[in-house]
Each structure stands twice: as C-alpha cells, then as structure tokens.
Amino acid sequence: MVETSRVLAFDVGLHFIRYSLFEDGKQGLPGTIPTPVDSTESFYRALADVVKSQDGPIDGVAVSFPGFVDTARQRAVTAGPLPLLYRHAIGDELNNYLDEPLPVWLENDANCAAIAEKRSGNAKKLQDFVLIAIDTGIGGAMFVDGRIHRGRDWRAGEFGMMMINYDTGGFSNLHDYASMSKLKQMYADEFDVPEESVVPSSLFRRLDEPDVRAVVERWADYLAVGIFNIVAATDPECVLLGGAISREVTLLPLVREALGRIPNWKDFRTPVKRCRHSGNAGLIGAYHAFMDEVTNANEA
C-alpha cells in the first residue's frame, strides 16, 4: 500500500475532540481540544484551526464521528450527543473554513474502532467479529467477510438499541442497562450518594468489597445478556470489548463469569477479548478508513 504523506485525524466526542497527525503511516502525538457545542460555526472553526496549525501541508482529514454516518454522501445522519450537527455534510462544510479544500473522510466512531482492531489490533486475523464499545452508552460495529458492515441505512452494529428486559423494563434498551451511565446510577442508588460523584472505573478496583462487587456483577449480567444476543444473531469469530473501561483488567473475568451463568452460553463459547486499542482507536481507524476509501480509491 502506498501511504499518503500527511493525514490529520480527528476523533469527535461529546466533551473533547482528539486529533493526531499521521505521517507516512506513523501516528504523531495526540492533542485535545474542547468540543464546541454552541454553534456549527464554532465546531468547524475549531477543527480548521487545528488543520491550519500543522507545520507543512496536509494531504487529507479523517474524522471519527458519533451517530449514524452516511459514508456514501459523507453526511452525518445523526450525530450522537451533538444534535447541532445532525444532517450536516461535515467534510464539505469543514472545507468552507479552510484556506484550501482538502479530501475529508467521515466514519462512525465505533466503525473506526473496529477498523483499527482489524488493521493493527486484536482482529488482524479475523474475518467476522463484532466490537462492543462500552461508554456513556453502548456502541458497536461489525466486520463480515473481512469488511466493515454498515447496513442499509448506516445503522448496523447499534447494539445499544436492543431491548433485553421487556417484562420489567418495557422498551428500555441495552443503553439503559449496561452502559457506564447505568453503572454509575446503580452504585449511586445502592449507596445513596450523588451520581456525579461516582467514577465507574474505580468500582472495578474495589471488587474485594462484597457490596460493590454485587453492584458490578448485576451490571455485568446485563452486559452478558447483550453479548449473548449479539453472538446468537451473528455467530462471530470473536467479540471485542472497547471503550475506556476495557482497560480495566477485572472487566473480562467479570464478563466471562456472567456469560457462564447463562445456560445456553455453552453452545457458543465465542471468545470474548479486550480491544488492543482504546484511547487511540478512533484516530487509528479514521486514518485507515481515509487510506482505504480516499487515497487507495483515487490510486485505483
């Protein structure tokens, strides 16, 4: 593969936008700016300022983005927690704020994480796998026959929308039961503390406390039900768990124990692993998506 010389990648989140310059395929040091949420103009100007601050010319911009992304039209159908960017052509509009137009590739953030794992992570040798991103919500992505599977309406992998507890939860979905937001709420309710004071990652280091472990195990049971349903529907070679919480070494044992409590899990026994990339997954995946969809397509 011929590498383009300089691609600037962005990973857009609710509170922060991370960015990093890839030169000849090698990632530079990441930087971070706050995510502007007051107007689209502020958002584009913030990205454009980062582009203009780079030493030397840029050959393209890659963007890992929340929500449903129509990659054919390079348009944000939705934008996750950033409603001001719904239905915007991010690349075209960004170019209005640059001194010279640049090729831009926009891709869903969970898809970027899966692309990163396929190219240089724990899915390099896999053709069919799913990635479950555990954060304030539950995201997901799928590789089928060695290619990212986006779905007819760019919604494939929306595992967080699965309803898993209808009898008692009605139309509540996996977001409402297995996200980090839910774990915070469960702990706050159990111990009668303010929800904003709870740091979910810290709970995984307190599992020797029986009351804390009971809360985390109850949360893990819901996540395991979601994993089981995904595996039953897609029969992947592997399930990868991503998101910042995947860095906690106690997560996998908890999830595997929870899966073991599901009687029919023995019929699948699909490997469940952590992602290799976590904080940089969006940046790495966005870069490779740009290379595959823009640079290599142009060369072809």
Which tens digits make up the pLDDT trace of 41-99?
999 999 999 999 999 899 999 999 999 999 999 999 999 889 999 999 999 999 999 99
CATH code where residue 293 lies: 3.30.420.40
pLDDT at residue 80 in the model: 87
Parent domain of 103: 6-111+280-298
CB-CB neighbours of 87 under 10 Å: 11
Nearest alpha carbon to residue 162 among 180, 125, 145, 137:
137
1 belongs to a structural domain:
no
| Whether residue 177 sits in one domain with residue 239 | yes
139 pLDDT more than 80: yes
122 pLDDT more than 90: yes
| Whether residue 193 sits in one domain with residue 88 | no
pLDDT at residue 299 in the model: 58
| Whether residue 284 sits in one domain with residue 234 | no
Nearest alpha carbon to residue 245 among 218, 223, 271:
223
Nearest alpha carbon to residue 132 among 56, 225, 257, 195:
225
| Whether residue 284 sits in one domain with residue 263 | no
CB-CB contact of 273 with 238 (8 Å): yes
250 pLDDT more than 70: yes
| Whether residue 285 sits in one domain with residue 250 | no
- Distance, in Å, from the CA atom of 56 to the CA atom of 145, rounded to the nearest integer, reads 39
| Whether residue 222 sits in one domain with residue 93 | no
Model confidence at 1, in pLDDT bands (50, 70, 90)?
very low
* Tokens coding 143: 């590789």
pLDDT at residue 78 in the model: 94
| Whether residue 174 sits in one domain with residue 35 | no
Nearest alpha carbon to residue 112 among 290, 282, 288, 291:
282
The stretch 86-114 carries a mean pLDDT of 96
Number of domains making up the chain: 2
| Whether residue 138 sits in one domain with residue 245 | yes
| Whether residue 209 sits in one domain with residue 131 | yes
pLDDT (tens digit per residue) in 2-55: 444 799 999 999 899 999 999 999 999 999 999 999 999 999 999 999 999 999
35 belongs to a structural domain:
yes
| Whether residue 49 sits in one domain with residue 24 | yes
* Tokens coding 66: 């929340």
What percent of the chain stands above pLDDT 70?
Answer: 97
Model confidence at 121, in pLDDT bands (50, 70, 90)?
very high
pTM for this one?
A: 0.93
Q: How many residues in total does the chain contain?
A: 300
CB-CB contact of 47 with 10 (8 Å): yes
CB-CB contact of 200 with 237 (8 Å): no
216 pLDDT more than 50: yes
| Whether residue 59 sits in one domain with residue 197 | no
120 belongs to a structural domain:
no
